[in-house]
C-alpha cells in the first residue's frame, strides 16, 4: 500500500480548475455583475425563454411533415384531439388524450387490410412543435428501417394535433395495432426547446396506465442522437413483441424469457 504524502493533497488542490460549462448545458458559472447576472447571461436567458414559449405555442408544419413522411413510403393520416385550440390544450390535458369524433371516423374508415398491424407510429405536437419539426422525420427514417428489417408490419402513421401521449392508445386500438410508438414534443426547458420524447406501449387501449409504457427521451442534437435513439426504441419493440409485455414489467419478462431459453 502506497503512503499518503501531503504533497499529494497540495498537487490536487492546485490542479487546473474544471470548466463546468464544458460538461453541461445547464446555467452554471454565469458570473455576476454587482448583485445581478451579467448582461450576456441575462440576454441568453431571455432568448431561451422566448424559444421555449415559441415551441409551446407554435404549430407543427404539418404539410411539410406529411410530405417528408410520404416520401419514406409511409401512409399518413391526420387526426386531432378534442382540444379545439392551443389554449384549451394547455389548460385541459384531458382533452388532449381523446380523439375528436371526426378523427375516430377517419381512422375507422382506414381499409381493413391496413389494420391489425404490428406497429402504429403516431407523431404528436405535444408541448414542443419545434421538437417535431426538427427531429421527427430523421428518427422515423432510422426506425422504419430497423422495424421492417425484423419483419414487423407498420400501419398508417398518424400525425396528431393538440396531442397528449395517451392519444396514441385510442389510435392504436382503432387500428388494431399490437404496439404503438408515440413520438411527441417534450416540455421545453431553458437549455433545450427541441427535445423529442418517445413512448412505446404493447396492447394499446383507451385507459392504458402510464406504468405500461416505456419511454426514451431527450432525443435531439446535443442529447440522444437519432441512430442510437432508433436502436433503443427498436430494441424495446422487439422485446415487447417477444414477451407481450411493456412498461415496468418488461425487464422482468425479458429475464424470464432469457432463463427459459437457456434452460431449453
Q: How far apart are CA 200 and CA 118, in angstroms?
A: 12
Show the CA angle centred on residue 224, arms to residues 47 and 162, nearest 5°. Answer: 65
Question: The C-alpha cell of 180 is what?
Answer: 404503438
Distance, in Å, from the CA atom of 91 to the CA atom of 145, rounded to the nearest integer, reads 38
| Reported CATH class of domain 60-260 | alpha beta
Q: Where are the domains of the chain?
A: 60-260
Beta carbons of 240 and 200 less than 8 angstroms apart: yes
Other Cβ atoms less than 10 A from the Cβ of 74: the count is 17
Would you mind telling me the total number of residues written for the chain in this entry? Answer: 264
Spell out the per-residue pLDDT of the chain, length 264, in tens. Answer: 455 555 555 555 555 566 766 666 666 666 776 777 777 777 777 887 788 788 787 889 999 999 999 999 999 999 999 999 999 999 999 999 999 999 999 999 999 999 999 999 999 999 999 999 999 999 999 999 999 999 999 999 999 999 999 999 999 999 999 999 999 999 887 778 899 999 999 999 999 999 999 999 999 998 999 999 999 999 999 999 999 999 999 999 999 999 988 776
Cβ contact 166:208 at 8 Å: yes
**Among candidates 118, 120, 94, which has minimal Cα distance to 107?**
120
Amino acid at each position: 500500500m502506497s503512503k499518503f504524502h501531503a504533497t499529494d493533497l497540495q498537487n490536487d488542490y492546485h490542479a487546473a480548475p474544471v470548466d463546468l460549462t464544458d460538461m453541461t448545458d445547464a446555467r452554471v458559472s454565469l458570473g455576476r455583475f454587482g448583485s445581478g447576472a451579467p448582461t450576456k447571461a441575462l440576454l441568453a436567458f431571455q432568448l431561451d425563454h422566448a424559444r421555449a414559449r415559441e415551441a409551446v405555442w407554435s404549430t407543427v408544419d404539418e404539410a411539410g411533415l406529411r410530405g417528408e413522411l410520404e416520401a419514406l413510403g409511409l401512409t399518413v393520416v391526420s387526426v386531432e384531439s378534442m382540444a379545439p385550440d392551443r389554449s384549451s390544450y394547455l389548460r385541459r390535458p384531458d382533452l388532449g388524450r381523446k380523439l375528436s369524433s371526426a378523427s375516430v371516423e377517419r381512422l375507422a374508415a382506414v381499409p381493413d387490410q391496413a389494420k391489425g398491424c404490428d406497429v402504429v407510429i403516431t407523431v404528436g405536437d405535444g408541448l414542443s412543435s419545434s421538437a417535431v419539426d426538427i427531429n421527427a422525420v430523421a428518427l422515423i427514417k432510422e426506425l422504419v428501417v430497423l422495424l421492417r428489417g425484423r419483419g414487423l408490419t407498420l400501419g398508417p402513421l398518424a400525425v396528431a394535433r393538440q396531442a397528449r401521449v395517451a392519444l396514441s392508445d385510442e389510435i392504436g386500438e382503432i387500428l388494431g395495432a399490437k404496439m404503438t410508438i408515440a413520438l411527441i414534443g417534450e416540455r421545453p426547458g431553458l437549455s433545450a426547446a427541441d427535445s423529442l420524447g418517445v413512448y412505446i406501449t404493447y396492447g394499446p387501449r383507451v385507459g392504458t396506465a402510464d406504468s405500461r409504457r416505456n419511454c426514451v427521451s431527450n432525443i435531439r442534437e446535443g442529447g440522444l442522437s437519432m441512430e442510437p435513439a432508433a436502436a433503443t426504441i427498436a430494441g424495446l419493440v422487439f422485446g415487447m413483441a417477444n414477451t407481450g409485455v411493456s412498461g415496468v414489467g418488461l425487464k422482468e419478462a425479458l429475464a424470464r424469457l432469457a432463463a427459459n431459453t437457456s434452460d431449453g
